[in-house]
Amino acid sequence: MMEGMDEKTRPAPDWTPRPGEPPNVWHGRGGHGRLRRLGARWGHGPFRRAREGKLAGGIAAAVAERTGIDATLVRIVFVVATLLSSGIVLALYVLGWLLLSRPDEHDTIAARALADRRGIMLALGWGSVLAALLLILSILGTGWLGLPAWPLIISAMGLVLIWRNAPADEQELMRRTAQPLMNRMAGPARSRLVARLCIGAALLAGGMVSLLLGHPGRILLRQLGGVTLVIAAIVVVLGPWWLHIARDLVVERQARARAEERADMASQLHDSVLQTLALIQRRADDPQKVVQLARAQERELRALLFEGRGPGSLGGEGMTLAEGVRLIQQEVEAQHGTSVEAVTVGDCDLSDDLTALLAAAREATVNAVKWSGAPVVSLFAEVEPGEVSIFVRDRGRGFDPDAVPDDRKGVAESIRGRMTRRGGTATIRSVRGEGTEVSLKMPRAA
């Protein structure tokens, strides 16, 4: 029924792994596909276990994220609800852990567990042992096979399946949680551990006795005392490990944040530096091209390291004059392979007039690079209160202003035109054999 409803509301289940998600093993589209979708449909949107900020299964963290309530508060509510509901909430938690997928996963633990025959056998075996144990206790007259027993058995079986089928990082977490229990008789802290275990056992025994011999009249009081003692026992025995685990969790989270940062940096370096190095290797026989590539890369890398700008993120809205000058420098160097020595004094936001000034400066720079034959072109911009001036200078072959070929005259006129239309001036000085300097001045609107 669930499946049919699903097929109607969802046109086609998404079986293809999305990019960026880890490739995972698919287990066909049998019954566990239904489980997965059942899990995914809990709540309004797909409700998924949290990957960040989790202690165990990440359900409390996910609830906290969904509702905006503090995760610690949610956890406290979980614990209290578990105590009050005789463990039913705990069982629900384990079921949730099994049936909800994590955002970085394609399927749920339950889906994978269905393919894990040995895990199912183990869970069933473990569940039956527990059931038997509780049955014996109930025969002894404690009535434990009642309400608290089934959630406990379900939780235990669920945990076995989770243990075997959870994502690698959760398995690691559980292994570390359980490790001290498994090799408790080894290691240097052995005597302290034994002492802790003895105290814990004594408290536990006291609590159990208090619970087991509950007198009808004072049953509530005795049960409360018993529960307190049991909790005290657990804290004494497991407290230090929990602290240790909590510390490890923090360290692990920091390590992951660092790893993500590194991956980010690596991808940026790959896009820029590695690509350029590959290009340089291919162009090794062309020194001019190699120098050009290295220079463009150097600027890009410097922008990334010192100014926090990613490659190609220059320009756009809110650009200042100095940034515009730098952009001209980078573009011209990258496109023409001649180095541009750019110096700016002062800075201001770009107006339409100043954008026109930059366009004229760019044209003058490209012109100098193309025609002068000089290895370096100087680009100097100064922002003063009343005006902004840009000088483009080369020490190249220069030209005689009276004998300019028509095509160059056109360029000069277009530079001049851009400036005069906006109320600025353009002066071009050139001496044959000594170089050319274009002076551009644009008044600043108040």
Partner 1 sequence: MAGKPRVFIVDDHGLFRSGVRSELGDQVEVVGEADDVAPAIALIAEQQPDVVLLDVHLPGGGGQMVITAVKPEYPQVRFLALSASDAPEDVIAVVRAGARGYVTKTISSPELVDAIERVAAGDAVFSPRLAGFVLDAFAAAAPEPGAVQPSFDPELDQLTNREREVLRLIARGYTYKEVARELYISVKTVETHVSSVLRKLQLSTRHQLTRWAAERRLT
Question: In terms of CB distance, is 97 or 380 closer to partner 1?
Answer: 380
Angstrom distances, CA of residue 177 to CA of 25, 54, 163, 213: 27, 14, 12, 33
Angstrom distances, CA of residue 275 to CA of 174, 281, 325: 42, 10, 25
Scanning 17-25, 180-188, 275-283, 378-386 for contacts with partner 1 by CB under 8 A, the matching segment is: 378-386
Select from 176, 295, 397, 444 the one that contacts partner 1 (CB under 8 A): 295
Cα(423)–Cα(435) distance, integer angstroms = 27
| Contact flag: residue 300 with partner 1 (CB under 8 A) | no
Question: In terms of CB distance, is 170 or 363 closer to partner 1?
Answer: 363
Scanning 116-124, 143-151, 198-206, 387-395 for contacts with partner 1 by CB under 8 A, the matching segment is: 387-395
**Residue 295 Cβ vs partner 1, minimum distance, rounded to whole Å:** 7
| Contact flag: residue 413 with partner 1 (CB under 8 A) | no
- Using CB under 8 A as the binding criterion, the count of chain residues that bind partner 1 stands at 19
| Contact flag: residue 306 with partner 1 (CB under 8 A) | yes
Residues 6 or more apart whose CB falls under 8 angstroms from that of 126 comprise: 156, 157, 160
77 burial type by CB count under 10 A (0-12 exposed, 13-18 middle, 19+ buried): middle
| Contact flag: residue 391 with partner 1 (CB under 8 A) | yes
Residues 6 or more apart whose CB falls under 8 angstroms from that of 95 comprise: 154, 158
Q: Which of 388, 395, 393 is nearest to 425 (CA)?
A: 388
Instruction: Rounding to the nearest 10 degrees, give the CA dihedral for residues 172, 177, 183, 185.
Output: 160
**Residue 378 Cβ vs partner 1, minimum distance, rounded to whole Å:** 3
Q: Residue 134 is which amino acid?
A: L
Q: Which of 315, 310, 278 is nearest to 294 (CA)?
A: 278
Contact 134, 144 (CB under 8 A): yes
| Contact flag: residue 75 with partner 1 (CB under 8 A) | no
Question: In terms of CB distance, is 186 or 343 closer to partner 1?
Answer: 343
Select from 232, 279, 376, 404 the one that contacts partner 1 (CB under 8 A): 376
Contact 119, 71 (CB under 8 A): no
Question: In terms of CB distance, is 245 or 376 closer to partner 1?
Answer: 376
Q: Residue 30 is which amino acid?
A: G
| Contact flag: residue 371 with partner 1 (CB under 8 A) | no
| Contact flag: residue 205 with partner 1 (CB under 8 A) | no
Angstrom distances, CA of residue 315 to CA of 182, 268, 320, 351, 401: 60, 18, 9, 14, 35
Scanning 37-45, 165-173, 176-184, 390-398 for contacts with partner 1 by CB under 8 A, the matching segment is: 390-398
Select from 270, 302, 408, 409 the one that contacts partner 1 (CB under 8 A): 302
Select from 36, 37, 362, 393 the one that contacts partner 1 (CB under 8 A): 393
Cα(326)–Cα(301) distance, integer angstroms = 14
Question: In terms of CB distance, is 105 or 437 closer to partner 1?
Answer: 437
**Residue 346 Cβ vs partner 1, minimum distance, rounded to whole Å:** 6
Question: In terms of CB distance, is 23 or 306 closer to partner 1?
Answer: 306
**Residue 429 parent element (H or E):** strand 425-431
| Contact flag: residue 410 with partner 1 (CB under 8 A) | no
Scanning 61-69, 259-267, 371-379, 410-418 for contacts with partner 1 by CB under 8 A, the matching segment is: 371-379
Cα(369)–Cα(362) distance, integer angstroms = 11
Contact 397, 409 (CB under 8 A): no
Mask: binding to partner 1, 207-226, rule CB under 8 A, as x and -? --------------------
| Contact flag: residue 380 with partner 1 (CB under 8 A) | yes
| Contact flag: residue 395 with partner 1 (CB under 8 A) | yes
What spatial distance separates the first Cα and last Cα of the chain, rounded to whole Å?
74
Mask: binding to partner 1, 308-347, rule CB under 8 A, as x and -? -------------------------------x-x-xxxx-
| Contact flag: residue 437 with partner 1 (CB under 8 A) | yes
**Which residue ranges make up the site for partner 1 (CB under 8 A)?**
295, 298, 302, 306, 339, 341, 343-346, 376-378, 380, 382, 391, 393, 395, 437
